[in-house]
Amino acid sequence: MLNKLDLIPEEDREERVANFLQAYNNGMPMAASCFKISAINGTGCRQLIYALQDALEEMGRTKQDTNLANSRGLIDEDNDAGYATRDA
Does residue 59 lie in a domain region? yes
Does residue 86 lie in a domain region? no
pLDDT level of residue 80 (50, 70, 90 thresholds): very low
pLDDT level of residue 78 (50, 70, 90 thresholds): low
Overall number of domains in the chain: 1
| pLDDT the model gives residue 62 | 75
What domain range is 38 assigned to? Answer: 5-71
Reply yes or no on whether the pLDDT at 3 is more than 70: yes
Does residue 32 lie in a domain region? yes
Does residue 39 lie in a domain region? yes
pTM: 0.57
pLDDT level of residue 84 (50, 70, 90 thresholds): very low
Does residue 79 lie in a domain region? no
Cα of first residue to Cα of last residue in the chain, in angstroms, is: 43
Does residue 78 lie in a domain region? no
